[in-house]
């Protein structure tokens, strides 16, 4: 029998690295998207 328990850890680390890289690449777009969403929520909630 082979021990394949370490493969899951490596996969999780690789997925996290890719997600962090994507966040860093698209940081400005993500910030503007979140700001737009919060501005819309704020303006629509004042009408309620």
Q: Which domain range does residue 35 map to? A: 5-46
Lookup result for tokens 């370490």 = 6
Lookup result for tokens 């979140």 = 34
Q: Is 18 helix (H, G, I), strand (E, B) or coil?
A: helix
pTM: 0.55
Query: Could you give the CA distance from residue 48 to residue 38 in angstroms, rounded to a whole number?
Result: 16
* pLDDT of 31: 93
Query: Could you give the CA distance from residue 21 to residue 31 in angstroms, rounded to a whole number?
Result: 15
What are the tens digits of pLDDT across the range 8-43? Answer: 888 899 999 999 999 999 999 999 999 999 999 988
* pLDDT of 4: 62
Q: Are 23 and 30 in contact (CB under 8 A)?
A: yes
Please state the domain count of the chain.
1
């Amino acid at each position: 029998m082979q021990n394949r328990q370490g493969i899951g850890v490596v996969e999780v680390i690789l997925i996290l690295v890719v997600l962090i890289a994507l966040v860093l690449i698209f940081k400005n777009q993500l910030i503007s998207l979140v700001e737009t969403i919060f501005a819309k929520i704020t303006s629509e909630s004042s009408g309620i």
